Structure 1
Amino acid sequence: MTHITVLSGGVGGARFLRGVRAWARQTHPDGAGGSTAHITAIVNTGDDMWLTGLRITPDLDSIMYTLAGANDEERGWGRVGETERVSGELKAYGVGWPWFTLGDLDIGTHLARTHFLRSGMSLSAATERILQRWDIGVRLLPMTDDEVETHVVSDIDGTEMHFQEWWTRHRASIPAREFRQLDVERSTPAPGVLDAIAAADVVLVAPSNPVVSIGTILGIPGIRAALAATSAPVVGVSPIINGSVVRGMADACLQTIGVATAADSVAVHYGSRAAGGLLDAWLIDEADAAVASHVEAAGIATTVVPLWMRDVPTAKQLAADAMDAATRVRSL
C-alpha cells in the first residue's frame, strides 16, 4: 500500500487534497470506486477558536466539506445551499462576532464537535467521529489536540487580536508585527501525526499559507524532527504564481516575516532538507520558470508545471506531477 501524507490548511490545501485523492483512485483503484493508497492530511488548527460557545475549526471543516462534495464552490468556503438565520438571531442578541457569519448547516457541525469535546473527546477523536458521516477517502488529523490559536500583533499600536479578526474582519489590512501561536511550546502532535510522517512513502506540502498554515504545523514540537527523519521524499507545491498569491492574503503574512511573495523565496524560506530545512523538491508554475535555478541553487530539486487548480482534473494532474517529483528524488 502507498502511504501519502499531506501537510495542509485552508482552501488551497483542500483543493490539492481533492486532486491527490483523484490521482490515488486512478492509479491505485480498489475496484469499488476508492483507492488502495492511504492518504493522511495533517491539518492546521491555528485558525481555530471558541465563538458563541462553539469550537470552530475552519481548516478541518473546509477540507472535510470539499472532499465530501458539500462545499460552496462559488464562495470557496462553507456549505453549499447555506442559510444564515441563526447567525442573524445571534447578531440581534449582540452575541458573537457580527463580521464572522456562520451558516446554519455549518453550525450543526460545530454543535456536534462541541458536544463531543464537552463529552471528553479529544479534537482528533471528535474529528474522527464527525467524519463517520462523510465518505471522503482521506484521513484527517488535526496537527495537535491542544488549543494553539494564532494571534496577530498589530505593528501600529501593539494590540493583539485573534487571527480570524485580522484575516476576516480587517482583510489583513492592518500591518502585522508578528504572529503568535499561543502555548505552542507546550503542545504535542495529535495521535497518529508522527506515525503518518514516519510511515509515509511520500510527504506532500500543499499550496497553503506558508506562514499561518504550514508554518503553524511545523511549529508543533516534534513535527519538524519527524519530517527531518522520515525516509520519504518531501515535495512542496508553491502557493505563489507569478509573484501573486493563489488565494487569500498570504502576501501580507509573508511580508511580516520578511519573505518576498515569490515562488523561489518561499522555497528558500522552507529550506532544503539536506541543509536542515523542509523540502527535497518544489513545484513551481510555468510563469515562474525563470526562478527555477534560484531554487535549485538552494539545494531543492525543482519542477516547472502548471499549478492552477481550476477543477478536479487539473488538481489531479498537479498531484501526479508532485508524485513524479517524489519518484525523481528517490532515484537520486
Structure 2
Amino acid sequence: MSGHVIALSGGIGGAKLALGLDRVLAPGELTVIANTGDDFRHLGLHISPDIDTLLYTLAGLDDPVKRWGRRDESWTFMRALGELGGETWFQLGDGDLAIHVERTRRLAAGESLSQVTEGLRRRLGIGARIVPMSDESVATRVQTDEGWLDFQHYFVSRRCEPRVIGLDFVGADLARMAPEAAAAFADPALRAVVLCPSNPYLSVDPILALPGMRKALAACAAPVIAISPIIAGQAVKGPTAKMMAELGLEPSAATVARHYDGLIDAFVVDEADAGLSVTGLEVAATPTLMRSLDDRTRLARFVLALADRLAGPRG
C-alpha cells in the first residue's frame, strides 16, 4: 500500500527507524519531523544535532562506530582549537563543521531552518523529506540537582550524570509548527504517523510541546503508532531509563505507552515485553533492537503493516 508517512524523530535511535522507513518507502513518501530542542549556538555556529544525525544517516554518511557525526572524519580543527585554549567539550569534526558553517551562513542570509535543511538534504541525495519541528527557537533545558542546564551541557559536557528533576522547553509555547510539518499532517494521502523509538522526554516531548502538534496527532485520520525505546526495563541507548527513574517513573515500556496516552492508536514493543496490555491501545510485539539495516527495514515493514491493518481497506 502506498501513501505518505510521517515520522517524529530525535537523533540516533529515531534515525535508525527513519532509515528503515526510507528504504522501504518510495522516494517522497516519507517526511521526518526532527526535534530541534537540542539546537544551540556554539563557537558562533548554529548546531542542529538531531537534524544532522538524520541527514548523515539517510545519506549513508553516519559513523557506524561512534554512532554520531560523519564517518571517516578528521579532527584538525578541534586539535588546533584546543591548542589555542578554545572550547573542545563539544566535538566538531572537519567534515561535520562544514554543515554547521553552511547552515549558519544561510540562516544569516535570511533563509529559514526549513529552507536550509531542504537544501542540505537535496545536496546529499536524500529522497525523504527532513523538516525541523519549527523554524523558531525552542531550547530544551534540564533541571538537575546541580541546577538548570542547557541540554547539550547536560547531555554532552556532563554526560547525563546529574540527577534530573524536571524539563522545560523554552519558547515552545510561542513557536509555530514548521509549514512543511503542518502540510504533512494535512495530506489526504497520509498513511501513518510513527513516533520513533527516541527518548520520549528529551526528543519527542519538545515536538509535542509545539502548539497544535498534540491536536494534529489526536485528530489524525491515519493510524498513529509509537515504538518503545525501552526493552525489558532498559533503554536501548542513552539516558532514558535513568531519567525515568530519577523522575519517579518506572522504566518500562508500559510507562512510555501511558506517556503517549490519547495520542496513539498502537504501541510496538520488543518481544521481551510481549504480553503487555494497555487499556484502549493496540499493543504489538516484534524484535525492535536495530543492529543492522535488515533489522531497521524489517521493523519499518512491521510498523507499516500494522498501520495498514488498523486503517482497514480504503475506498
TM-score (norm 2): 0.95
Identity of aligned pairs, percent? Answer: 38
Name the counterpart of 1:279: 264
Name the counterpart of 1:246: 236
How far is the alpha carbon of 1:79 from its aligned partner?
0.5
**Corresponding letter in the other structure for 2:70:** R
Contact 1:198 1:231 in 2 (8 A): no
**Corresponding letter in the other structure for 1:14:** A
How far is the alpha carbon of 1:256 from its aligned partner?
4.5
Name the counterpart of 2:205: 215
Please say if 1:72 is aligned against 2:63: yes
Higher alpha-carbon deviation: 58-67 or 198-207: 198-207
Please state whether the residue corresponding to 2:194 is helix, strand or coil: strand
Which string of whole-angstrom CA distances, capped at 9 and with x for unpartnered residues, describes residues 250-290 of structure 1?
1233235433211111001111xxxxx21100111111113
- Structure 1 residue runs of 5 or longer lacking an equivalent are 25-34, 272-276
Which string of whole-angstrom CA distances, capped at 9 and with x for unpartnered residues, describes residues 106-135 of structure 1?
000000000000101111111111222111
Please say if 1:135 is aligned against 2:125: yes
Task: Report 1:261-272 matches (<5 A).
Answer: 261-271=251-261
How far is the alpha carbon of 1:36 from its aligned partner?
5.3
Contact 2:28 2:128 in 1 (8 A): no
Which string of whole-angstrom CA distances, capped at 9 and with x for unpartnered residues, describes residues 169-205 of structure 1?
2221101221111111111111111121232221011
Please state whether the residue corresponding to 2:161 is helix, strand or coil: coil
- CA distance in 2 between partners of 1:207 and 1:11 (Å): 9
Name the counterpart of 1:19: 20
How far is the alpha carbon of 1:245 from its aligned partner?
0.4
Pairing partner for 1:161 from 131, 143, 149? 149
- CA distance in 1 between partners of 2:41 and 2:60 (Å): 26
- CA distance in 1 between partners of 2:92 and 2:27 (Å): 36
Please say if 1:331 is aligned against 2:312: yes
Name the counterpart of 2:161: 173
Contact 1:71 1:77 in 2 (8 A): yes
Contact 2:35 2:206 in 1 (8 A): yes
**Corresponding letter in the other structure for 2:136:** D
Please say if 1:197 is aligned against 2:198: no
TM-score (norm 1): 0.90
- CA distance in 2 between partners of 1:197 and 1:175 (Å): 36
Please state whether the residue corresponding to 2:72 is helix, strand or coil: coil
Name the counterpart of 2:294: 313
Please state whether the residue corresponding to 2:100 is helix, strand or coil: helix
Q: Does the C-alpha gap of structure 1 residues 325 and 110 become closer, same or farther in structure 2, counting only changes over 3 Å?
A: same
How far is the alpha carbon of 1:314 from its aligned partner?
1.1
How far is the alpha carbon of 1:37 from its aligned partner?
5.6
Please say if 1:82 is aligned against 2:73: yes
Contact 1:2 1:36 in 2 (8 A): no
Count of aligned pairs between the two proteins: 310
- CA distance in 2 between partners of 1:253 and 1:71 (Å): 27
- Structure 2 residue runs of 5 or longer lacking an equivalent are none
RMSD: 1.5
Please state whether the residue corresponding to 1:184 is helix, strand or coil: coil
Name the counterpart of 2:32: 41
Contact 1:284 1:302 in 2 (8 A): yes
Which string of whole-angstrom CA distances, capped at 9 and with x for unpartnered residues, describes residues 300-326 of structure 1?
101111111111111111011111211
Contact 1:2 1:37 in 2 (8 A): no
- CA distance in 1 between partners of 2:81 and 2:27 (Å): 45
How far is the alpha carbon of 1:72 from its aligned partner?
0.4
How far is the alpha carbon of 1:327 from its aligned partner?
1.9
Name the counterpart of 2:54: 63
Contact 1:178 1:256 in 2 (8 A): no
How far is the alpha carbon of 1:94 from its aligned partner?
3.0
**Corresponding letter in the other structure for 1:123:** L
- CA distance in 1 between partners of 2:185 and 2:66 (Å): 32
- CA distance in 1 between partners of 2:166 and 2:199 (Å): 15
Name the counterpart of 2:98: 108
* Structure 1 segments of 4+ aligned residues over 3 angstroms from their partners: 255-258
How far is the alpha carbon of 1:92 from its aligned partner?
2.6
Contact 1:259 1:266 in 2 (8 A): no
Name the counterpart of 1:30: none
**Corresponding letter in the other structure for 2:219:** A
Please say if 1:302 is aligned against 2:280: no
